Amino acid sequence: MNMPAIPVIGTKVKRIVRLPVSIRSITIGPTRAFSACTLMEIDDIGVYVYHKHGTSPSQEDLRRSLIGVELSHIDIEADTIAQAAVKFMREYPGATTGARAQALVINESREEAHIFPECRHMHRTTEDEIVCGEVVRDEEGERGEYGGCVLNRYSSPGFYCPIEEFWNKKHRRRA
Domains of the chain by residue range:
6-14+116-174, 16-114
Looking at residue 1, what is its pLDDT? 47
> Is residue 31 scored above 80 in pLDDT?
no
Asked whether the beta carbons of 107 and 71 are under 8 A apart, the reply is yes
Q: How confident is the model at residue 57 (pLDDT cuts 50, 70, 90)?
A: confident
Per-residue H/E/C for the chain: CCCCCEECCCEECCCEEEEEEEEEEEECCCCCCCCEEEEEEECCEEEEEEECCCCCCCHHHHHCCCCEEEEEEEEEECCCHHHHHHHHHHHCHHHCCCCCECCEEECCCCCCCEECCCCCCEEECCCCCEEECCEEEECCEEEECCEECHHHCCCCCCCCCHHHHHHHHHHHHHC
pLDDT at 140: 84
- 161 pLDDT more than 50: yes
Q: Is the pLDDT of residue 119 over 50?
A: yes
125 confidence band (pLDDT: 50, 70, 90): very high
Mean pLDDT of 56-70: 90
Higher pLDDT, 6 or 56: 56
Judge whether residue 3 has pLDDT over 60: no
